[in-house]
Structure 1
Amino acid sequence: MDSMRKLFLDLAEKAIHQDLSVGELESIARVKDEHVFALMAGADLIREHFFGRGIHLCTICNAKSGRCSEDCHFCAQSAHFETDVPSYPLKDSQELISLGQSLAETEVHRYSLVTSGKGLSATEIDHICDVFNELKGKNIHLCASLGIIHKDDLTRLKQAGLSRYHHNLETAESFFPSICTTHEYAQRIQTIKQAKEAGLSVCSGGIFGLGESDAQVVELAKTLKSLDVDAVPVNFLVPIPGTPLENKSYLTPLRCLKIISILRYVLPDKEIIICGGRVQNLKELHPMVFFAGASGIMTGNYLTTTGRTLEEDLQLLENLGFSPRANIG
């Protein structure tokens, strides 16, 4: 067996049972492109141990778009930048309910309402609660990504049927000031803690390809581990014209696979879901995300970019010998 491959398989066996050391994580972060497939062998072993051949599927609805007060440099919906992304207020309740009802008849496990902006008004929270009350009890788990939110509102949303709150940290704390200046990293962490205190599971990850180092990928992963989040969405930057990162390109297909693998070694038993930028950045290698450690994918369109259809992704899973996971919490 190739010595590099054996090294990472041994690290994977250790990661299944205990945390890797700082030195071991540093060695993973230093892996060169030519050794990424050896690194993936261990990540795949970890995924198989905790998740088998079942893949989690989720989809989102961009329920409120544009005019966000925050200046996240990657975001097409920020009011600070001139982009072609449409802006609209919170969508009609029936439109949001109808989409959720249709998804409940498919293999999709989770349906998430996502809104732009730092947070929602009391009236908008009422609107979301009405939608969730209509969908509660259907064969679909309900998620929301509504920005920085108070614990009382999280409790109300949970009573309406919400089971998971999504709030990305976006990147490592040491890199965050380079990406956003209109709010503090601590506010994002506080929102995650409040969601957990409200009895919700938490989905929190980030967007990669912003200029962060591989060591900062490890840093973010360790922060997510310390917060004990339940699921980690992984987005890869699709540069949007008009944003500060419109001409930046820090990703290759192999680096994307490396990032997924790093996350799996640090977060062995957590759901890792590949979301925006999957096909645009991994290109022909995008089916390999599962062998790099991913246990889920977002199917359908993303917030401001198009994705793959559910039918295409179901066929992909079948071709690779995977299957949609049974209904989960």
Structure 2
Amino acid sequence: MTTAFHDLADRVLAGEPATEHDALAVLRATDEEVLDVVAAAGRLRRAHFGNTVKVNYLVNLKSGLCPENCNYCSQALGSTAPILKYSWLKTDEALAQAAAGLKGGASRVCMVSSGRGPSDRDLDKVTEMVGAIKAEHPQVEVCACLGLLKDGQAERLREAGVDAYNHNINTAESHHDQIVQTHTYADRVDTVEKAKGAGLSPCSGLIAGLGETDEQLVEALLALKALDSDSIPVNFLMPFDGTPYENTWELTPQRCLLILAMARFVCPDKELRIAGGREMHLRSLQGLALHVANSIFLGDYLTSEGQAAEADLELIRDNGFVVLGSEEHAAQLAHPDPAIRRRGAGTSIPANA
């Protein structure tokens, strides 16, 4: 067993932040060290999140028709990817889609629209949808992802019942201009700060496989830590036909595992979500990745199909995890044996309870 990564886990569990050097060492682990890296990162995951997996569900409110030129995106200006393009869903359509995700075990619904950012009329539509979803499912978390925010818009979303706001930085500041030119890295950070300032839980992550260096991956994760992002979606580039990245294949399943492990060491107590591209790039190692990450999207993504929701839930069960908020999770938390209660609660129950 390679002890260096477990020594790193010991230090992080003791409250010592992982350094840039530590993060690079994780990313550059050899094939023979991958399982040791996962085991060490898994200790952090279990300490903070027990054996739970948070399940999220995407509702694509508006598809395509975007004026931004994000080179990785099938919905971007100039993309010829064969995707569905439509304007805003009606409230009842959004409600039906959200209900399907919740029935499958999701506890958070992510309401996403394409475009540079919402107009005030767009916000009217979204707040109406949020009100309808919360009226029928008051326990659900709602995360909005609507693009760049103007002053006052985050406050409107918070007042309407939105719990979180997603706006990914996507890559390191030093690499940002290589992947998009119609907005800046600072624009993205500003929107995350607006969301935080309004009391929304900040959700911001990255896309791996965009031609970035190891150093730039670490730079991006350290930036997300500095932003204090509560949840960090890690996407793996899906090289859509008709986009500038259509022939870009930089990732292997083991590389994806190391990226997730690096994220866990840098941000040990944050929700780490395996997002777009996990089926394509992690493939048979998806289950192993759950021993590092503690959150996934259920079913399909914005413009691409994921694996069947039943397969996702089976993946969770087969790897010894329970869905956060499920009956199985509730039974763990109510169990008379403190060891079993701790299994579902991470560090929230003292060891001597």
Q: How many residues align?
A: 324
Residue of structure 1 equivalent to 2:338: none
Query: Are the aligned partners of 1:175 and 1:212 in contact in 2 as well (CA < 8 Å)?
Result: yes
Q: Identity over the aligned pairs, expressed in percent?
A: 37
Unaligned segments of structure 2, at least 5 residues: 330-353
Query: Are the aligned partners of 1:196 and 1:202 in contact in 2 as well (CA < 8 Å)?
Result: yes
| DSSP 3-state at the match of 1:98 | helix
Residue of structure 1 equivalent to 2:298: 299
Does structure 1 residue 112 correspond to structure 2 residue 110?
yes
Residue of structure 1 equivalent to 2:162: 162
Q: Structure 1, residues 66-107: CA drift from partner, whole Å, max 9, x if none?
A: 121111111000122222112111111110022223434442
Residue of structure 2 equivalent to 1:315: 314
| DSSP 3-state at the match of 2:58 | strand
How far residue 12 of structure 1 moved from its aligned partner, in angstroms, is: 0.8
Instruction: Give the ranges of 4+ consecutive aligned residues of structure 1 lying more than 6 Å apart after TM superposition.
Output: none
How far residue 25 of structure 1 moved from its aligned partner, in angstroms, is: 2.7
How far residue 310 of structure 1 moved from its aligned partner, in angstroms, is: 2.4
How far residue 284 of structure 1 moved from its aligned partner, in angstroms, is: 1.4
Residue of structure 2 equivalent to 1:290: 290
Query: Are the aligned partners of 1:63 and 1:113 in contact in 2 as well (CA < 8 Å)?
Result: yes
RMSD: 1.5
Q: How is 1:1-329 mapped onto 2 (pairs within 5 angstroms)?
A: 2=1, 4=2, 6-16=3-13, 17-137=15-135, 138=137, 139-291=139-291, 293-326=292-325
Query: Are the aligned partners of 1:117 and 1:147 in contact in 2 as well (CA < 8 Å)?
Result: yes
How far residue 46 of structure 1 moved from its aligned partner, in angstroms, is: 0.7
TM-score by length of 2: 0.88
Query: Are the aligned partners of 2:37 and 2:258 in contact in 1 as well (CA < 8 Å)?
Result: yes
Query: Are the aligned partners of 1:103 and 1:140 in contact in 2 as well (CA < 8 Å)?
Result: no
For structure 1, which segment, 197-206 or 101-110, has the greater mean C-alpha deviation from structure 2 after superposition? 101-110
- Could you tell me how far apart the structure 1 residues matched to 2:257 and 2:102 are? 31
TM-score by length of 1: 0.95
- Could you tell me how far apart the structure 2 residues matched to 1:162 and 1:186 are? 24
Unaligned segments of structure 1, at least 5 residues: none
How far residue 130 of structure 1 moved from its aligned partner, in angstroms, is: 0.4
How far residue 45 of structure 1 moved from its aligned partner, in angstroms, is: 0.8
How far residue 226 of structure 1 moved from its aligned partner, in angstroms, is: 0.4
- Could you tell me how far apart the structure 2 residues matched to 1:153 and 1:71 are? 23
Q: Structure 1, residues 246-276: CA drift from partner, whole Å, max 9, x if none?
A: 0110000110101000100000000001011
User: Compared with structure 1, are the counterparts of its residues 102 and 82 closer, same or farther at alpha carbon in structure 2 (3 Å cutoff)?
Assistant: closer
